[in-house]
Amino acid sequence: MSKNDAAPGITLALEAMVEEFCVESGVSPIEINAGLCADFADAFTSVFGQGAEILGIDDLFAEATSGSERMKAAVPPPGMTWSDLGSIGAVEGLSHSWIAYDGLHFDAEATRGVANPFDLPCVRHGLHELMEMREPVLLRALVSAHAWWQETQKIREEREPLLSHRLDEHERPAR
């Protein structure tokens, strides 16, 4: 049994809550993660309970760099170190809340969970955007050298149009 198969109950519960949020709020899972992620995580953990916790970017950096068991699978993206991420201001420049449960990290788009929070599509999108603003030359080199960064660029390209159509109705989402 793979790690992702270990928590089918949370996946089903998350999928149901995503559906409910989408219907009630008129938003997509991507839009939930681009401004409603804390509300979503709070609503989910209050209903699901059973060891589900809300985490954020601050938790990721503090716990992963201190050797926390909860973040043992959290490693920087390929070609980067924790120091590199600190240098570009990733803690201050990224914003996302997600759910941690049974060693995996979940949000409205990643209902099956990922081991490394950097693999959450919202975090990948935000990191790519931050790198483009602060270190474009390094970003181009990373995209050229690493499949993870190539996939991350595709994730951002797919997500952007789904977010930009809502800008007239809402303030710019925090990816």
Over residues 26-80, the pLDDT tens digits come to 999 999 999 999 999 999 999 997 789 999 999 999 999 998 888 989 999 999 9
The pTM assigned to this predicted structure is 0.88
Three-state SS for 16? Answer: helix
172 falls within a domain: no
103 falls within a domain: yes
- Structure confidence at residue 112 (pLDDT): 95
- Structure confidence at residue 70 (pLDDT): 85
Widest pairwise Cα distance in the chain: 45
90 falls within a domain: yes
63 falls within a domain: yes
163 and 31 in contact (C-beta within 8 Å)? yes
Angle between helices 121-134 and 136-145 (to 10 degrees): 130
169 falls within a domain: no
76 falls within a domain: yes
Our count of domains for the chain comes to: 1
175 falls within a domain: no
68 and 76 in contact (C-beta within 8 Å)? no
Q: Show the domain range for 145.
A: 3-164
125 falls within a domain: yes
